[in-house]
Amino acid sequence: MASGNLGLTYGGQEKTPSLSGETEFAAEAGAPGGLFHADYKRHDDLKQMLDSSKDSLKLEAMKRIIGMIAKGRDASDLFPAVVKNVVSKNIEVKKLVYVYLVRYAEEQQDLALLSISTFQRALKDPNQLIRASALRVLSSIRVPVIVPIMMLAIRDSVSDMSPYVRKTAAHAIPKLYDLDPEQKDELVMVIERLLSDQTTLVVGSAVMAFEQVCPERTDLIHKNFRKLCAVLVDIEEWGQVIIIGMLTRYARTQFTDPNINGTNHSEKDKPFYEESEEDDEKGKQTESLVLDPDHRLLLRNTKPLLQSRNSSVVMGVAQLYHHLAPREDVAIVTRALIRLLRSHREVQTVVLNSIASMSVNRKDMFEPFLKNFFVRSTDATQIKLLKLEILTNLANESNITFILREFQTYISSQDRDLVAATIQAIGRCAAGIKEVTDTCLSGLIALLSNSDELVVAESVVVIKKLLQTHQGSHGDIVGQMARLVNRITVPQARAAILWLVGEHCEKKRVSKMAPDVLRFMARTFANEQDVVKLQILNLAAKLCLSNPKQTKVLCQYVFSLAKYDQNYDIRDRTRFLRHLVFPSTEQALLAKYAKKIFLASKPAPVIESVFKDRDEFQLGSLSHYLNSRVVGYMDLPNFPAVAPDSNVRNVESPRPVIPVTSLRGNSASAPSKGKKKETFYSESSSEDDDVKDESGSSDSKSDSSSEMDSDSAESDSDESSSEEDPDDSVDISQQNIVRLSPSLSPSPPAQRLSRTLVIESSSESEYSSNSSDSDSNDSDKVVKSSRMPPPKSNLDLLLDLDVSDSAPVMASVSGIPLGTLASTPITDSSVQPVSAAYISTRPTELVSSISSGCGLQILYRYTRSINLYSPSMVTIELTLVNTGNEELTEVKITNKNMPVGISMHEFTTLASLPVGATRLVTVGIDFGDSTQNVSCDLVASGRPIKINFRPSVGELIRPVTCTEGVFINEQGKLKGMNEHSFSITNTLELEDMKNISTKIFRTTNMASINSSDPNTLRFAGQTLSSKSLVLVTILVGVNPKLTVSCEKMIIGSMLLAELKEALKN
Amino acid sequence: MIHSLFVINHSGDVFMEKHWRSIIPRTVMDYFFEAQRQVVKDNKGHEDVPCVIATPHHYLISIYRNGLYFVAVCMSEVPPLFVIEFLHTVVDILEKYFTECNESNIKEHYVVVYELLDEVLDNGYPLATEPNILQELIKPPNIIGNLINTVTGKSNVSSVLPSGQLSNVPWRRADVKYTNNEAYFDIIEEVDAIIDKTGSTVFAEIAGKIECCVRLSGTPDLTLSFINPRLMDDVSFHPCVRLKRWENERILSFVPPDGSFCLMTYHVGCQSAVAIPIYIRHNFFLPKENSQSQTGKIEITVGPRQTMGRVVENLQLSIPMPKFILNCTVTLNQGRATFDPVTKILLWEVGKIDPTKLPNMRGQIHIQSGAVILQSTPSVNVQFTLTQIAISGLKVHRLDMFGENYKPFKGVKYLTKAGNFQIRM
């Protein structure tokens, strides 16, 4: 019940809340003077309900208030009454109060501050959902005063165990940024951290925050690019859309244009026929080489998303291909786009819009799907018009008859807009395709006798355009149209006819009719629309020049009518024409050329798609849809001429690309891994997959934890293979690997999560799963310490903060977390285990194939991950390779010769190891914080092979993190005998800092601690067995010095020696 | 991203609003109402309200479903499809909760809707949209639940916070338990076609989907294989389906979400000949423009064509008549016909086709006096169903379950429907 949620305060039996609620209310009513007793008239009943002691009444009141908010009614005057209930132990009431707070906190900032401490406390709740919702509300209340608190909360939450909380933290980042853009630098650091998160749940939100806060920082993406590509399939749909959008922009800055050679080729081909073949070949070669492997990776990994059920994902991939892919590859998106046309009307509209734009330049892509764009009478008008546009764009010599026949049926449609657009479309087809111009023209002329005036008018306008583009004598047509002037009332059409008559007034048939037309128009001049009037003037001027005998008087009449027109455009035009046509003597110079001016042949209008100029916008964006720049639109950068260094994307220790699989794979069993696994430049063959599938299905029958094993085994094997031989890694992972003690790959969040779940499914509590996760003592303490704050009643909470002015509230509020860090003695919760910063990928040989005597080669490697069997064990991964000629059976470890205090957890016996096969197994050894030799026998086919494990001291440590303050504090305690230091002789420069860290990480498994002093490097670790802190400080600068502090003197001195050695090289 | 959401009913009232960032005043909806009025003025349907409206400071992206407009307000660049798809997802979720997403249901369950909206979006970005997860956070209302709620005074918010929020399978809730374990698969195919005046097929295509209702305990891992999977091209999947397995073996392998969901949609290309189950003989003419007569004629006969041996059922013909038509009087030998004078749709509910006695309709069309007669031809929208057959011939081979020990009850059903089936007269 209400227990878990606010479990801090009370055990949470059903009855307690109501009891405490009562007392609290009684006290409250008297205590804090006027603050809550302002004179509010309205909603008195609600206030009473909220103040009551019964949760059911409170709930009812909250429901009604939420109803008011939903309807958009003002409920702000209830703020004081509602905010009190934020401490309610009833989760339902609490939730609704949160909703209310988010809505009104902005308006009543001072009062809202009263709730902050509740959230701060909830941020430390053991339940991840409570932590998450507290963070959500805290970051949503938009009160600028709490920016520092938000920052603190976000920073804490990004390293939370629960991916859900981390996701919420990612969501909180843009909120904080909106509230206070000054925090950007710090937020960027947080984003950087989130981007490297291994959990799919988090990554999408992290990229979203990136896009909102610092989209220009492409440098943050480099390291994560390959990971993002690899996990893309597993991210939730909305995250996919955002990541694809971001990657499109990223790719535009990092890769060269894949089509640059292709287009040049086709264009240059003709003029450069004489060029030698060699050159040509070279061109081809470069063409095939242009694609950066990462570029190809991106394209390949986004392709499966075309099968998403979410249309925006499909559209995202389509635009990515449109903007990034080589021309010939873009076509694969067509089918998926066509599929979206069966979706909702709104989706259709947007997709058709994009297709219309694509089809201008990529006809061949959509031509096979011509029929899918046929208009249905049930389509919405907008969709019909878009389909028509696409059909017109796709029209060519071979399909035009087909399209025209289809157009014919549209003309008899009931939708007037469609009819008009169809006629326009016919005009465009006619203008574009020479073969059908005449057919179309005669078809359009036939339409002139249609009973529908709209059809006629539209046809007239289109014919006018066509006649302009089409050379030849059109006297007949113009004559026929001139007769229509009487009938047509649509101004545009009348204007078009008049223009045509004027233009062709010297042609044989028209010349006779033209004066009559003018006479007719002169009579109705006063009642015409402005467009028509202008054309009448035009016609009059032209006729007067070509046929002055018949029309001069008429022309003067028209001009004088127009002289007194209301519209100044018309008056203006008249004045201009009059001086040209009827010149007074001094202006005769220009008038001489009047005929040339008026009757010159005019350039034909270009009839083309209205979607032609949309290329400047990114396909599928709002700007593209509206064809205007929208706030916040980022231009797609042009491809660079030379690609920037692609090495920036190399990750030092190849990050395991897989952790997701463990997320999905755990329950999903092995086969699912197939689809994400061979992401790195290798396309898997189907055979390989079959093998894997079999292994998968057999796995799935065993219990869930063994599935986990195979998972992490695979992830490890991927790490172990370097980038250059991806195929190998695939091979290894395809073996059916069975291991006893699964090691954690260096992706603690994901792994931790999935393991938590495994344990949960075996019906253990969440806490126990936590504790088995890291070392049991430690996390138990964490849990305890978070429970520790003494239970306070609700009243206390309010009294705590009952300060009228907000500034002191701030101080006291933000003081709480800082105080715990600075003053209180170190609790273990301040020292948190983290994942290894570096993991060696190269195994070292333990026993060579020759010395083993049976062709068995054994390699070993420290995985630096927490051992599942016992957290105090060092996890060692053994690679067993059978290089001999016979199959090895019964491979196992026997005869363990353990010194006191050392224990070992061996791997399960391998039934057989076929010739040439490779198996990965892990053993866990608890060295008891000593570097003593551990020897044992590995028996294969009955033959014992002696193996010796002698760990380097650096491997007996696991990394922990803490704040700098804690570090210094702890180091202060480890003085004297516990401190070993050494002055470094060779000068270390500041540039070498990174280099030094790398060396340290290679040698020992520690984590670096953020240091405020740029000349100091700090590393922290913890011995595996005894959990004593190991702290390393390196001073760089004038007196370079290396200091190792550790309670265990031997460990300290040995580590110092090893580090000394490492730094020398 | 999405700043606010307004829900508007038919009569143009904003009856629900939700803001995820700072409050945007309701007045922004005036632009939407203006667009709506324009559509009404142009004599168009509700479908024709533009789905993206740009106002000086805001962008209104709307969808129209079940007689309601859901209008999202955005203030900066966002892929429009992202918003549209999201709004549809929200409506889908509401439909899952209240079986029907209409005004009265939303009003009745204000609080649930509000909580849902709070959960699906955070700061304008989608947070959790998987129905399985949401149902754990916020319990869907039901009659018994309501009864208990009123008696005990509890609400639908689950009082125990779900631990399954982070279940390792993001689309499936954890700890599912059923006494009867069952899995039903409905293979539904829709025939889209345009048939021209002469009866020849201009365009025909089959679109199919597999709707599942899976109620299985634990975490079952299912595989579904087909006898003839090559029929399907261009598929889209629920996120639970393992793509690689499909690519290599054409087998659907997945851990299903709990409850009902759409597993996949597919497409049977227009390359293979599509069986058109019915034909129509029609005769439609309007009086000549200048003639004195005010009546036209309509005559329609429907018959079965390639029905794969099944009976065509639930046949229904709807004919949107031109606007200038006043009324239709028809006589039928089967079924029921109605003419709606407002929408001008002549609807004929035929029922089953009996091949020995073909359904037939004949009658007269009355023209509004004084109206200009435009020679336009309506097209007939056809609805029908064929049960127990997928018209493409698709057949399920077998369904296997791994990962759990019990024996589930399995069922597969086939159904063919008319999708967008149009006959031009």
Tens digit of pLDDT for each residue in A268-300?
Answer: 333 333 444 444 444 444 444 567 888 889 999
Strands lying side by side in the sheet with B251-254:
B251-254, B221-226, B396-402
Residue A159 reports pLDDT greater than 60:
yes
Q: Please say which residue of B134, B166, B198 terminates a domain.
A: B166
Least confident of A2-11, A366-375, A930-939, A1037-1046: A2-11
B342/B404 same-domain check: no
Contact A71 B80 (CB under 8 A): no
Contact B63 A344 (CB under 8 A): yes
Does residue B262 sit within a domain?
Answer: yes
- Residue B243 to residue A304, Cβ atoms within 8 A: yes
pTM score over 0.80: no
Answer whether residue A531 shows pLDDT above 70. yes
Least confident segment among A425-429, A705-709, B204-208: A705-709
Q: Which of B19, B21, B167 sits opposite A757 (nearest CB)?
A: B167
Q: Would you say residue A422 has pLDDT above 70? A: yes
Instruction: Note the pLDDT of residue A314.
Output: 94
Percent of all residues in chain A with a pLDDT value above 90, rounded to a whole number: 8
B18: nearest CB among A70, A168, A208:
A70
The reply to whether A108 touches chain B by the CB within 8 Å rule is: no
**Nearest-neighbour CA in chain B from A716: distance (Å):** 20
Chain B positions touching A1 (Cβ under 8 A) are 159-160
The answer to whether A300 contacts chain B (CB < 8 Å) is: no
Q: Please report, for residues A588, A1043, A1055, B248, the alpha-carbon distance to residue A979 in angstroms, rounded to integers and kept in the order given.
A: 108, 7, 11, 61
Among residues 330-349 of chain A, which lie with CB inside 8 Å of chain B? 335-336, 338-339, 342, 344-347, 349
Please give the Cα distance from A963 to A974 (Å, whole number). Answer: 17
Q: What is the mean pLDDT of residues A714-719?
A: 41
Q: Which pLDDT value is given to residue B107?
A: 87
Residue in the structure block whose two tokens are 């649930």: B112
Q: Is the pLDDT of residue B203 over 90?
A: no
Same domain membership, residue B359 and residue B418 = no
Average pLDDT over residues A386-400: 90
Return the pLDDT at A818: 36
A163 touches chain B (CB under 8 A): yes
Q: Cα-flanking dihedrals φ and ψ of residue B195, to 5°?
A: -110, 135
Predicted confidence (pLDDT) per residue in A355-374, tens digit: 999 888 888 889 888 888 99
Nearest residue, CB atoms, B81 vs list A171, A311, A757? A311
SS (H, E, C) A10-55: CCCCCHHHHHHHHHHHHHHHHCCCHHHCCCCCCCHHHHHHHHCCCH
Strand order in the sheet with B325-332: B278-285, B295-304, B360-367, B325-332
CA of A459 to nearest chain B CA: how many angstroms apart?
16
Tell whether B122 and B58 lie within a shared domain.
yes
d(CA B375, CA B274): 32
Q: What φ, ψ does residue B261 adopt, rounded to 5°?
A: -165, 170
Contact B77 A372 (CB under 8 A): no
* End position of a domain, from candidates B166, B197, B221: B166
Q: DSSP secondary-structure letter at A743?
A: B
Tokens standing for A677?
């696994």
Q: By residue range, what is the domain housing residue B216?
A: 182-274+391-424
CATH code of residue B373: 2.60.40.1170
CB contact under 8 A, A347 and B81: yes
pLDDT band at residue A882 using 50, 70 and 90 as cut-offs: confident
Q: Is B268 in the same domain as B400?
A: yes
Displacement of CA A20 from its chain's centroid (Å): 47
Give the mean pLDDT of A818-844: 58
Nearest-Cα distance to chain A for B288, in Å, is 10
* A447 contacts on B by Cβ (under 8 Å): none
CB contact under 8 A, B74 and A622: yes
Strand partners, A979: A1045
CA distance A698 to A663: 19
Which residues 888-947 on chain A approach chain B with CB closer than 8 angstroms? none
Same domain flag for B401 and B337: no
pLDDT tens-digit map of A957-986:
888 887 777 888 888 777 777 788 877 766
CA dihedral A126, A129, A132, A136 (to 10 degrees): -140
pLDDT of residue B142: 65
Confidence band for B225, pLDDT divided at 50, 70 and 90 = very high
- Nearest-Cα residue of chain B relative to residue A308: B236
Q: Lowest-pLDDT range, A142-156, A264-278, A392-406, A519-533?
A: A264-278
B259 and B309 assigned to the same domain: no
Res. A241 pLDDT band, cuts 50 70 90:
very high
Distance (Å) from the C-alpha of residue B160 to the closest C-alpha of chain A? 5
Q: A630: which chain B residues are within 8 Å (Cβ-Cβ)?
A: 54, 59, 76-77
Residue A700 near chain B (CB below 8 Å): yes
- Whether B172 is covered by a domain: the verdict is no
Same domain, B74 and B36: yes
Q: Do B13 and B150 have their domain in common? A: yes
| Whether A162 and B166 lie within 8 Å, measured CB to CB | yes
Exposure b/e, B8-39, CB count within 10 A at least 16 = b: bbeeeebbbbbbbbeebeeebbebbeebbeeb
Q: Do A238 and B378 touch (CB under 8 A)?
A: no
Which one of B48, B255, B322 has the shortest CB-CB distance to A380?
A: B48
pLDDT greater than 90 at residue B69: yes
- The answer, for A144 touching chain B at a CB cutoff of 8 Å, is no
Q: B89 and B48: one domain?
A: yes
Does B176 reside within a domain? no
* B contacts of A63 (beta carbons < 8 Å): 110-111, 155
pLDDT score of A63: 87
- CB contact under 8 Å between A623 and B77, yes or no, is yes
Closest A-chain CA to B78: A622
Are B168 and A59 an interchain contact pair (Cβ–Cβ within 8 Å)?
A: no
B-chain CB neighbours of A357 within 8 Å are none
Query: Shortest CB distance from A4 goes to which of B77, B82, B161?
Result: B161
Q: With an 8 Å Cβ cutoff, are A175 and B379 in contact?
A: no
* Mean pLDDT value of segment B25-42: 89
User: What local confidence, expressed as pLDDT, does residue A661 receive?
Assistant: 35
pLDDT one-digit tens code per residue, A532-569: 999 999 888 888 888 888 888 888 898 888 888 888 89
Mean pLDDT of A136-147: 86
Quote the minimal CA–CA distance from A329 to chain B in Å.
17
Determine, yes or no, domain membership for B14. yes
Query: Chain B residue closest to A173 (CA)?
Result: B123
Give every CB contact of residue A163 below 8 A, 6+ residues apart in sequence. Answer: A197, A199, A201, A202, A749, A750, A753, B166
Does the pLDDT value for residue A58 go beyond 90? no
A215-224, A748-757, B188-197: least confidently modelled range: A748-757
Domain assignment present for B177: no
B402 with B375, same domain: the answer is: no
Which among B153, B162, B238 has the least Cβ separation from residue A59?
B153
Cβ–Cβ < 8 Å for B259, B214: yes
More confident residue, B312 or A937: B312
Please tell me if residue A524 touches chain B, with a CB cutoff of 8 Å: no
Q: What is the pLDDT of residue B144?
A: 54
Give the number of other Cβ atoms within 10 Å of residue A38's Cβ: 8
Which pLDDT score is estimated for A279? Answer: 43
Q: Do A339 and B76 touch (CB under 8 A)?
A: no
Average pLDDT, chain A: 73
Cβ contact, residue pair B243, A236, below 8 Å: no
CA distances from residue A774 to A834, A920, A922, B61, B402 in whole angstroms, order as listed: 10, 24, 18, 48, 32
Q: Which two tokens stand for residue A379?
A: 């389509």
B-contacting residues in A 758-797 (Cβ below 8 Å): 760-761, 766
What confidence category does residue A717 fall into, taking pLDDT thresholds of 50, 70 and 90?
very low
Residue A63 to chain B, least CA–CA distance (Å): 6
Size of interface A-B (CB pairs under 8 A): 306
Please, are residues A177 and A183 in contact by the beta-carbon 8 Å criterion? yes
Residue-wise pLDDT for A908-930, tens only, equals: 777 777 777 777 788 888 887 77
Confidence of residue A700 (pLDDT cuts 50, 70, 90): very low
Q: Please list, in sequence order, all residues whose beta carbon lies within 8 angstroms of the beta carbon of residue A233, skipping any fewer than 6 positions away.
A: A301, A304, A305, A675, A676, B243
Give the CATH number, domain containing residue B67.
Answer: 3.30.450.60
Residue in chain A lying closest to B324 (CA): A414
- Domain assignment of residue B307, yes or no: yes
Q: Name the closest residue on chain A to residue B379, using Cα atoms.
A: A377
- Which residue of A lies nearest to B250 if distances are taken between CA atoms? A686
Spatial distance between the Cα atoms of B392 and B388, rounded to a whole number of angstroms: 12
- Residue A587: what pLDDT? 62
User: Rounded to a whole number, what is the distance in angstroms from the first to the last CA of chain A?
Assistant: 61
Out of B62, B168, B239, name the one closest to residue A754 (CB): B168
Domain boundary among the residues B166, B196, B229 is at B166
Kindly state whether A367 is in contact with chain B, defined as any CB-CB distance less than 8 angstroms.
no
Strand (E) or helix (H) holding A712 = helix A704-720
pLDDT at A11: 36
Residue B345 lies in a domain: yes
Average pLDDT of the residues in B337-359: 90
**Which residues on B lie below 8 Å from A368 (Cβ)?**
none
Q: In chain B, how many domains are there?
A: 3
> What's the Cα-to-Cα distance from A610 to each of A352, A359, A995, B147, rounded to whole Å?
14, 12, 57, 59
Per-residue DSSP letters for A625-639? HHTSPPTT--PPPPP
Distance CA A468, CA A458 (A): 16
**Nearest by Cα to A384 from A392, A375, A393:** A375
Query: Which residues of chain A have a CB within 8 Å of the CB of B266?
Result: none
Instruction: Please determine, for residue A598, whether its predicted confidence score (pLDDT) is greater than 70.
Output: yes
Using the predicted structure, report yes or no on whether residue A394 has a pLDDT greater than 80.
yes
Contact B320 A414 (CB under 8 A): yes
* Mean local confidence (pLDDT), A109-130: 84
For residue A34, pLDDT beyond 80: no
In angstroms, the separation between the Cα of residue A94 and the nearest Cα of chain B is: 11
Do B136 and B208 fall into the same domain? no
If pLDDT is split at 50, 70 and 90, which confidence band does B41 have? confident
**Which residues of chain A make contact with B136, given a CB cutoff of 8 A?**
none
- How big is the CA angle at A474 (ends A596 and A576), to the nearest 5 degrees? 30
Q: What's the whole-number mean pLDDT along residues B140-164? A: 54
Of A48-52, A553-557, A984-988, B308-312, the range with the lowest mean pLDDT is: A984-988
Q: Give the residue from A97, A373, A667 with the most B CB atoms within 10 Å of its CB, the best one to mutate.
A: A667
Residue A9 has pLDDT above 60, yes or no: no
Average pLDDT score over residue span A830-856: 74
Residue that wins the pLDDT comparison between A928 and A821? A928
Same domain, B237 and B291: no
Q: Where are the beta strands (DSSP E) in B196-294?
A: 201-215, 221-226, 233-237, 251-254, 259-268, 278-285
